[in-house]
C-alpha cells in the first residue's frame, strides 16, 4: 500500500486497515483521546505517517458538531505585546488541533457596527468560540456589547474609563456565564518598580503615562498613583498621547529646559509606561548632559527585544506575553468544556492575570543628593 501511487488523499478507513484497528480507534487517536493503549496508538501513528494521512476538518466538524476554529478580533497589532500574544494564541491552538481565524481592527476607532459585522462573519463560519484582544476602552466596550452566543475570552486590563464590572453588566445575562477576562498583572509590575526605586532612595519621580484610552496605561497610572501615596513618593505625571518615543522625548526636553530656565530641581528618577518612552526620555537626558543613571535613573515597561543592549541597559518590567496567549487559549478551551480550568498566578477585579516581572539592569542607581 505504501508504494502505490494514489490519486486522492488516503481515508481514515485505509489507516484503520493498515493498522489493523477500527476506524473509531483511529478517530480516538486523532482526537487525542486517553482511551487508547500506547501500543495501539503507536500502530495508528505509524500508519498515518506511512500513508501521509491528514484528518479532514469538515469530517471532524460533522462528527463532533464543531469546526475546531476560534474567531479572534484583535487591536494593537502594530505593537510588540499584542503581536506576541496573537502568535502565542495561534501556537497554543495548533497544539490542540484547532485553527484561529483572525480579524485585525484599528483599536481606537473600531465601531460597534464594525465589530458586530466581524462577529457575524465568524459565526457564519461556525466558529466554536471567540477571543477578543481589546487594548483600548473603545474595543473593550464593543466586545462586551457584541451579540454572540459562543464562549468568549476578552484580553484586557482591569482599569479604564469603563471597569471590568461595568463591562460585565453590558453583557447579556445568559452570555455572562460564558465570558472570561484575562490580562497581565500590571499592578504587580508597578509595585515591583516602586519597591526598587524606594530601595535606592528615590522620592521625587517623573511618571510618563501612556495614552489614556489604552487600558494598560490606565491601570499602570492608577496603580502608580496609589503606590506613591502609600509609599510617600512625590510623583509628577507627564501625560503622553501615544506609546511612541517622540512624545516622551519632547516632554522631557520641555521639562529640562524649564528647570534650566527657572532654576528648578531635577527629579532623581523617570518611570516610563513602556520601553519606547524610556528611550525618548534617555535621549533627551543625554542631549542635555544629564548622565543616566548617575544623575537620573530611568525605568521602562515591556522588556522589548534589545533593551538589554540599550545604553545603559534598561531596567524594565517583563510582561509574559507568551504565557498570556497560552492562558487565553486554555481559558477558551475550558469555556468550551474541553479542558480543566487554568490556574492564573493572580486574579483582580474579575480578571485572571499572568505575571509581570521586574528585570533589573544598569539604568537605575542610588538616588543622588539634590
* Mean pLDDT calculated for residue range 75-95: 89
CB 186 within 8 A of CB 157: yes
pLDDT tens by residue, 185-206: 999 999 999 999 999 999 999 9
Equal fold, 68-184+321-354 vs 188-319: yes
Of 47, 80, 100, 40, the closest CA to residue 244 belongs to: 80
| 170, 224, 228, 298 from 284: Cα distances, Å | 44, 23, 25, 12
Answer yes or no: pTM beyond 0.85. Answer: no
| 15, 16, 125, 161 from 27: Cα distances, Å | 10, 9, 23, 49
Q: Parse the chain into domains and list their residue ranges.
A: 12-55, 68-184+321-354, 188-319
The phi, psi pair for 326, rounded to 5°, reads -65, -45
pLDDT of 322 above 50: yes
C-alpha cell at 325: 496567549
What confidence score (pLDDT) does residue 3 get?
46
What confidence score (pLDDT) does residue 62 get?
45
pLDDT tens by residue, 228-272: 999 999 999 999 999 999 999 999 999 999 998 887 889 999 999
With cut-offs at 50, 70 and 90, classify the pLDDT of residue 4: very low
C-alpha cell at 140: 473593550
Helix (H, G, I), strand (E, B) or coil at 52: coil
What confidence score (pLDDT) does residue 57 get?
57
**What percent of the chain is modeled with pLDDT above 90?**
67
Rg (CA), the chain: 25
For domain 188-319, say whether CATH 3.30.70.1290 is its number: no
What confidence score (pLDDT) does residue 58 get?
52
pLDDT of 127 above 70: yes
CA distance linking residue 129 with residue 249, whole number of Å: 42
CATH code of domain 12-55: 1.10.260.40
Question: ∠224-203-216 over CA atoms, to 5°?
Answer: 15
CB 203 within 8 A of CB 233: yes
* Mean pLDDT calculated for residue range 218-236: 97
- DSSP string over 174-242: HHHTTEEEEEE-HHHHHHHHHHHHHHTT--EEEEEE--TTBHHHHHHHHHHHHHHHHHT-EEEEEE-SS
> What is the third-level CATH fold of 68-184+321-354?
Rossmann fold (3.40.50)
The phi, psi pair for 260, rounded to 5°, reads -65, -35
CB 68 within 8 A of CB 61: yes
Dihedral angle of Cα 36, 97, 356, 302, to the nearest 10 degrees: 150
With cut-offs at 50, 70 and 90, classify the pLDDT of residue 56: low
CB 332 within 8 A of CB 100: no
| Residue 329: cis peptide before it, omega within 30 degrees of 0 | no
With cut-offs at 50, 70 and 90, classify the pLDDT of residue 301: very high
What confidence score (pLDDT) does residue 303 get?
96
**What percent of the chain is modeled with pLDDT above 70?**
94
CA distance linking residue 107 with residue 220, whole number of Å: 19
Q: What is the mean pLDDT of the chain?
A: 90
With cut-offs at 50, 70 and 90, classify the pLDDT of residue 65: low
pLDDT of 2 above 50: no
* Mean pLDDT calculated for residue range 134-151: 94
CA distance linking residue 315 with residue 20, whole number of Å: 60
* Mean pLDDT calculated for residue range 104-112: 90
pLDDT of 348 above 50: yes
Largest interatomic CA distance in the chain: 88
CB 123 within 8 A of CB 92: no
- Within 8 A by CB and 6+ apart from 169, the residues are none
* Mean pLDDT calculated for residue range 273-295: 97
Judging by DSSP bridges, how do beta strands 129-133 and 99-104 pair with one another?
unpaired
Amino acid at each position: 500500500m505504501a508504494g502505490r501511487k494514489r490519486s486522492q488523499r488516503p481515508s481514515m478507513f485505509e489507516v484503520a486497515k493498515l493498522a489493523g484497528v477500527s476506524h473509531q480507534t483511529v478517530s480516538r487517536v486523532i482526537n487525542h483521546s486517553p482511551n487508547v493503549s500506547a501500543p495501539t496508538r503507536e500502530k495508528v501513528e505509524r500508519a498515518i505517517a506511512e500513508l501521509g494521512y491528514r484528518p479532514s476538518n469538515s469530517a471532524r466538524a460533522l462528527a463532533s458538531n464543531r469546526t475546531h476554529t476560534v474567531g479572534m478580533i484583535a487591536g494593537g497589532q502594530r505593537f510588540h505585546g499584542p503581536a506576541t500574544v496573537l502568535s502565542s494564541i495561534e501556537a497554543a491552538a495548533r497544539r490542540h488541533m484547532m485553527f484561529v481565524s483572525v480579524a485585525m481592527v484599528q483599536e481606537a476607532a473600531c465601531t460597534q457596527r464594525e465589530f458586530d459585522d466581524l462577529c457575524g462573519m465568524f459565526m457564519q463560519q461556525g466558529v466554536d468560540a471567540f477571543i477578543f484582544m481589546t487594548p483600548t476602552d473603545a474595543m473593550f466596550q464593543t466586545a462586551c456589547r457584541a451579540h454572540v452566543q459562543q464562549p468568549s475570552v476578552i484580553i484586557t486590563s482591569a482599569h479604564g474609563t469603563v471597569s471590568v464590572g461595568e463591562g460585565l453588566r453590558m453583557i447579556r445575562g445568559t452570555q455572562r456565564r460564558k465570558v472570561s477576562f484575562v490580562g497581565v498583572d500590571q499592578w504587580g509590575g508597578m509595585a515591583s518598580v516602586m519597591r526598587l526605586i524606594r530601595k535606592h532612595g528615590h522620592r521625587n519621580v517623573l511618571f510618563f503615562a501612556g495614552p489614556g484610552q489604552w487600558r494598560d496605561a490606565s491601570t499602570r497610572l492608577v496603580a502608580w498613583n496609589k503606590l506613591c501615596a502609600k509609599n510617600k513618593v512625590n510623583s509628577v505625571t507627564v501625560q503622553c498621547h501615544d506609546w511612541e518615543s517622540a512624545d516622551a522625548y519632547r516632554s522631557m526636553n520641555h521639562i529640562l529646559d524649564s528647570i534650566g530656565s527657572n532654576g528648578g530641581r531635577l527629579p532623581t528618577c523617570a518611570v516610563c509606561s513602556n520601553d519606547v518612552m524610556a528611550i525618548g526620555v534617555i535621549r533627551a537626558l543625554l542631549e542635555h548632559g544629564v548622565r543616566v543613571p548617575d544623575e537620573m535613573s530611568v525605568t521602562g515597561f515591556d522588556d522589548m527585544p534589545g533593551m538589554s543592549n540599550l545604553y545603559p541597559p534598561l531596567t524594565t518590567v517583563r510582561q509574559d506575553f507568551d504565557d498570556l496567549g497560552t492562558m487565553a487559549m486554555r481559558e477558551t478551551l475550558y469555556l468550551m468544556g474541553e479542558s480543566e480550568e487554568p490556574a492564573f498566578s493572580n486574579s483582580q477585579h474579575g480578571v485572571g492575570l499572568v505575571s509581570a516581572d521586574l528585570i533589573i539592569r544598569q539604568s537605575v542607581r542610588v538616588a543622588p543628593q539634590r
